[in-house]
Chain A
Amino acid sequence: MKSAARRIWGLVYRHVCMYRRSWPRLAEIAYWPTLELLIWGFTANFFSRDIHAGSPILAGAALIAGVLLWEIVLRAQIGVTLSFMEEIWSRNLGHLFVSPLRPAELVLALLAVSAIRTCIGLLPATIIAFLLYHYDLFAPGPVMVLFFFNLLFMGWWVALGIVALLFRYGAGAEALAWTIAFGITPVACVFYPLASLPAWLQPVAQALPAAHIFEGLRALLLNGHTDWGQLAMAAWLNMLWMLAAIAVFGAEFRRARILGALISIGE
């Protein structure tokens, strides 16, 4: 157990070394969440001040919360896939896979790097949201931790699926790392309620934890009550999707060892 933890730390340390020396890389982690927050925050301000229907201030808050929280999924996913692609780009996978590092330990290390990156990335945006828009992400209380972890998990299983595709299709599939989570956004119901989607698309959205998380978030911000049913459904779906992602990851890793893709993945 101790040596497993040390191996996981070894790989996390590899990324810490890389980031601590490169301010552009460090800045990049926070750049997109901050930029998104600024764009949507000002948009939300506009709605809050100038549009007089329903409860515009709360709707603005829901929009800002949506922007901030959806970034958790995006950052968590990119944190895993980018760290994995760093190993492809540096042609280091050959050394890693002939070390005693188990695939599960590799995954845990990637998740740990992702969690660190996500926290670092969101911190400036959260502070800016408070300073510029007087929006306190944590005002609803400890329940926000459940929203956070649900979204983190969603980012992780999406990322594991992408890493599995990288095993199958090699570095040629790296564009997926940047596009898949963004592609999910329309059915994640981040900025609008589930009812806004056409009826035929709603089951697709409901199969994703994000739709339940953001329905729950809107209920919390607009009506002040925690919809535990939505949170529980999100957690349940996350678990199912995570198990599926782990199964696909394992299958693609085994396939890569049979076809020799671990040797040629960077080519």
Chain B
Amino acid sequence: MAYPAAYPQAMQAIRAESLTKRYPETLAVDNLSFTLERGKILGLLGGNGAGKTTTISMLLGLLVPTSGRITVLGHDMAKNRFAALARMNFSSPYISLPARLTVWENLEVYGHLYNVPKLQSRIGQLAEQFRLTGLLNRRAGELSAGQKTRVALAKSFLNQPELLLLDEPTASLDPDTGDYVRTALEEYRAETGAAILLASHNMAEVERLCDEVVMMKQGRVADRGTPAELIARYGREDMEEVFLHIARSEAL
């Protein structure tokens, strides 16, 4: 991953420049820069408190950076975030959908918010894709954790986003469904050229899906590269070992 200007900006789904987020008593993100090209999957990794959630929140416009600049799909997030938000989507098992609404109703609500054309048929497609057909009339609050994760993923695909931000997309999924979702992400990327930013603690998943990885520690970039490059650089067997090495090392 070259930064900052190796690729024309039109090819960049995300361009984060010198991002810093400072709270009164914490420096959550410190001078972070990276780009994500269209059609690529970038892993944003790091231990708890490394600054991943803060970074994703800034990319989504939920949080205003203290300094730095974010451009998403060509839109400056400080000036025109809604134009970008209409073309992207987000899924996290840690943010719920209304529990009292059925799966179908939830998807309908978000279909309206994202102005999805031919909404009924789109929901039907997604229900099939994410194995939700039998759950459409069930209330979201009655679903298992894995089922909720699949509903959240279906919601994130509603508007056929050009950029997907996924926080732990396969958390709580059984191995079969987890593999099914990873395949769905690969196919979606291949078919649409969408870019995906993936935050995950599943290193096998990262190795399989990610073209490039940014390892964060204490709000800063600890290292970056393709999974193969990182494994070779640290002389390790896999990304799990690389993660542990970086997380446990004293140096940043």
A100-B115 in contact given A259-B23, A260-B23, A262-B62 (Cβ < 8 Å): yes
| Chain A residues with CB under 8 A of B95 | 91-92, 94-95
A92:B96 contact, CB within 8 angstroms: yes
Contact A91 B62 (CB under 8 A): no
- Which stretch in A11-19, A131-139, A237-245 binds the other chain? A11-19
Q: Are B99 and A13 in contact (CB under 8 A)?
A: no
A95 touches B97 (CB 8 A): yes
CB neighbours (8 Å) of B130 from chain A are none
The complex places the Cα of A102 from the Cα of B85 at a distance, in Å, of 10
B113 at the interface (CB under 8 A from A): yes
Residues 106-127 of chain B, each 1 if its beta carbon lies under 8 Å from chain A, else 0:
0011111111000000000000
Q: How far is the CA of A90 from the CA of B140 in the complex (A)?
A: 11
Q: Tell me the minimal C-beta distance from A65 to chain B in angstroms.
A: 36
> Which B residues touch A223, using CB under 8 A?
none
A13 touches B109 (CB 8 A): yes
Whether A9 contacts B115 in the complex (CB less than 8 A), given A90-B98, A92-B96, A92-B98, comes out as no
Partner of A101, one of B23, B98, B101, B113: B113
Contacts of B112 in A (CB 8 A): 6-7, 9-11, 13
**A14, A100, A102: the one within 8 Å of B109 (CB):** A14
Choose one: B62, B102, B109; the contact of A98 (CB below 8 Å): B62
Complex: chain B residue closest to A22, CB-CB: B100
Interface residue B189 (Cβ < 8 Å from any Cβ of A): no
With A and B bound together, what is the CA distance between A9 and B109 in angstroms? Answer: 9
Residues from chain A with a CB closer than 8 A to the CB of B101 are 14, 17-18
Choose from A7, A21, A94, A260 the contact partner of B113 (Cβ within 8 Å).
A7
The answer to whether the Cβ of A258 comes within 8 Å of any Cβ in the partner chain is: yes
Bound together, the chains give a CA A56 to CA B92 distance in angstroms of: 63
Chain B interface residue bracket vs A: 20 to 34
A17 touches B57 (CB 8 A): no
Chain B positions within 8 Å of A95 at CB level:
90, 95, 97, 110, 155
CB distance A94 to B62 under 8 Å? yes
Question: Is A196 among interface residues, defined by CB-CB distance under 8 A?
Answer: no
Query: Which chain A positions have C-beta within 8 A of B64?
Result: 254, 257-258
Contact of A11 among B53, B90, B99, B113 (CB under 8 A): B113
A116 interface residue (CB < 8 Å to B): no
**A254→B63 CA distance, assembly (Å):** 9
Establish whether residues A257 and B63, one from each chain, have CB atoms under 8 Å apart when the complex forms. Answer: yes
* Chain B residue at smallest Cβ distance from A16: B105
Residue A263 interfacial (CB < 8 Å): yes
- State how many angstroms separate the Cβ of A239 from the closest Cβ of chain B: 28
Contact with A along B216-238 (1 / 0, CB 8 A): 00000000000000000000000
**A11, A14, A87, A260: the one within 8 Å of B63 (CB):** A260
Is A90 a contact of B97 with CB atoms below 8 Å?
yes
Tell me if B196 is interfacial: C-beta within 8 Å of chain A. no
In the complex, the answer to whether A99 meets B23 with C-beta atoms within 8 Å is no
B60 at the interface (CB under 8 A from A): yes
Identity of the chain A residue whose Cβ is nearest the Cβ of B87 in the assembled complex: A100
Annotate A244-267 by CB proximity to B: 1 below 8 A, 0 otherwise: 000000000010011110110000
B82 at the interface (CB under 8 A from A): yes
Is residue A46 contacting chain B, with contact meaning CB distance below 8 A?
Answer: no
In the complex, which residues 86-140 of chain A have their Cβ closer than 8 Å to any Cβ of chain B?
A: 86-87, 90-92, 94-102
- Chain A residue nearest to B116 (CB atoms) is A6
Task: Let me know if A3 is at the binding interface, CB within 8 A.
Answer: yes
Q: Is the C-beta of B146 less than 8 angstroms from some C-beta in chain A?
A: no
Closest 3 CB pairs of A and B: A10-B112, A94-B95, A100-B86
A-B contact sample (13 more), CB < 8 A, given A14-B105, A92-B95, A98-B89: A6-B112, A7-B113, A13-B108, A13-B112, A14-B109, A17-B100, A17-B108, A18-B101, A95-B110, A254-B64, A257-B63, A259-B23, A263-B62
26 A-B pairs whose Cβ atoms sit less than 8 Å apart in the complex: A7-B113, A9-B112, A10-B109, A10-B111, A11-B109, A11-B112, A13-B105, A13-B108, A14-B101, A17-B101, A17-B102, A17-B108, A18-B101, A90-B98, A94-B62, A94-B92, A98-B62, A98-B85, A99-B113, A100-B113, A100-B114, A257-B63, A258-B63, A260-B57, A260-B63, A263-B53
